[in-house]
Amino acid sequence: MVLGSFKLLRLERKRDAVEVLGILAILAPTLAFLINGGLAAANDLASWFNAINRLTALVGTSLLLIHMILVARIPWLEQILGLDKLTHAHKRLGKPLLYLLLVHTITALISYSITDGVGVFTTLVNLIGGYTDLLLAFIGLVLMILVVVSSITAARRKLSYEAWYLIHLLSYISIFAAIPHQFSLGTEFLAEPLLAAYFIALYVFVGLNIVWFRFLYPIVRSLAMSLKVASVRPEANRTTSIVIGGRRIESLGAEAGQFFMLRVLTAKQWWRPHPFSVSASPNNTVRFTVGNRGDDTSLLQDIKAGTRVILEGPFGVFSESKRSKQHVLLLAAGIGVAPIRALAESLAAEPGDVTVVYRVTDRSNAALLDEVERICLERNHTLHILDGPRPDGPGFLPKQEASEKPAPEYARLIGLAPFTAESDIYICGPSAWSNAAVHALKKLNVPKASIHVEEFAW
């Protein structure tokens, strides 16, 4: 096990390199645009609009490709940034991307309408009437608006996951519909074969990665391993442990704390995968512990042994690969205990190195509690099980008794885990709870690189 500040530096460098790559992907076409005199050619209103139209088209296309690569689930990228961060970035990029493409469309229309001396609406009608490619692009834009609107938080609350998922699939059609006009009419691409070749290469790269890593690879591998549910065992607090077995399943190479996308091949559930953390991997199996929290997880509670499954992954950087310090603090709440339990079991540690804090509402009914207690006893980890009601405000520790002297949470955390500031900290639980914990850690000046949060709801 490699630890130390040099590892931390190496991890940071990798992360920076990927982010710089993203910036360069935006910068490159912008430079090409400027070098070709795209901005210098602008001398009146119409040509200014045209310049903006072309620049937003180039930057928008680059951003779209980045947007797609973020959810292509490419292993090397995922191992650097983590699937949750990638998905989060993908979410955040959605709206700016749409705005860019809208600006592109509107400035193009205005520019042409000034040149032609007719109204904007007439121009729109003429363009989409005169060019099949533009009609397609326009349909693509409408679909993209639909996809983005369906993804904003307010809409997500109202829409069912199924509806959102189906609408989101439209984005593939939207992207394909927009491609023809870029190459048949895009001034930049027609004039600069090199730039066109660059974008074609990017399109192909992103497309192949998506097709392979999102679709073909997990299916081919799972079928080859003939992955099946080996056994199902109900646990405390309405949770169930599902054990998956298969030929050479150990070659999946899942580390403790990582998770898989589990796709159960039954008539009802095959089309919707769900992320589950590996709670243990004994005897060449993979075990998930699933809480009964809603529609699909409740269906999973009575899954039959022998059901075929497809596993996609392993994903996540909530593992020892990001650890750089000797001391480790593990914070778990509720079903977030699953990856924490796996970490507690497998982290390289001497007695006393690891502190586990497990926040439960009810000690008698906490998932995997007996296992966590046994592991901590065997490996000499310090274990704090915190039960009791929630605090009135935001917070991750139980409400203080009236008799206790009131203390801020970070001070109470230091009392539980004195080495917190020099530890790697792994947090897994509901997002509000995790945020409160991160807040307390920031008060203790824990460096950001040492805090590892598994986003639980995304």
Q: Please report, as ranges, the residues that interact with other proteins according to CB under 8 A.
A: 12, 15-16, 19-20, 23, 27, 30-43, 46-47, 50, 54, 111-112, 114-118, 122-123, 126, 130-131, 187-188, 190-192
Angle at the Cα of 230 from the Cα atoms of 228 and 231, rounded to 5 degrees: 135
Specify burial of residue 227 (Cβ count, 10 A radius: 0-12, 13-18, 19+). buried
- Tokens 């060019």 label which residue? 131
- Provide the terminal-to-terminal Cα distance of the chain, rounded to the nearest Å: 31
For residue 185, give the DSSP letter.
T
**d(Cα 226, Cα 229) in Å, to the nearest integer?**
10
CB of 117 to other proteins, least distance (A): 4
Q: DSSP E strands: which ranges in 209-337?
A: 228-235, 239-245, 259-264, 274-280, 286-291, 309-315, 327-333
CB of 37 to other proteins, least distance (A): 4
- Nearer Cβ to other proteins, position 57 or 440? 57
Strand partners, 244: 229, 286
Pull the structure tokens for residue 322.
């990001």
Contact yes or no for 279/287 (Cβ under 8 A): yes
CB of 99 to other proteins, least distance (A): 21
- Nearer Cβ to other proteins, position 63 or 225? 63
- Nearer Cβ to other proteins, position 187 or 284? 187
CB of 224 to other proteins, least distance (A): 39
- Nearer Cβ to other proteins, position 188 or 312? 188
Q: Are strands 259-264 and 286-291 parallel, antiparallel or unpaired?
A: unpaired
CB of 368 to other proteins, least distance (A): 37
- Tokens 């940034």 label which residue? 81
Phi, psi of 366 (to 5 degrees): -95, 135
Residues 6+ apart with CB under 8 A from 372: 337, 340, 341, 344, 356, 358, 383
CB of 78 to other proteins, least distance (A): 18
CB of 82 to other proteins, least distance (A): 15
At 36 the three-state DSSP class reads: coil
- Nearer Cβ to other proteins, position 8 or 256? 8
CB of 112 to other proteins, least distance (A): 6
110-123: b or e for each residue (b if 16 or more CB lie within 10 Å)? bbbbbeeeeeeeeb
- Nearer Cβ to other proteins, position 239 or 450? 450
- Nearer Cβ to other proteins, position 60 or 275? 60
Specify burial of residue 376 (Cβ count, 10 A radius: 0-12, 13-18, 19+). buried
- Nearer Cβ to other proteins, position 118 or 152? 118
- Nearer Cβ to other proteins, position 127 or 330? 127
- Integer angstrom CA distances of residue 39 from 52, 57, 63: 8, 14, 20
CB of 179 to other proteins, least distance (A): 18
- Integer angstrom CA distances of residue 396 from 21, 86, 272, 333: 37, 26, 32, 9
CB of 92 to other proteins, least distance (A): 15
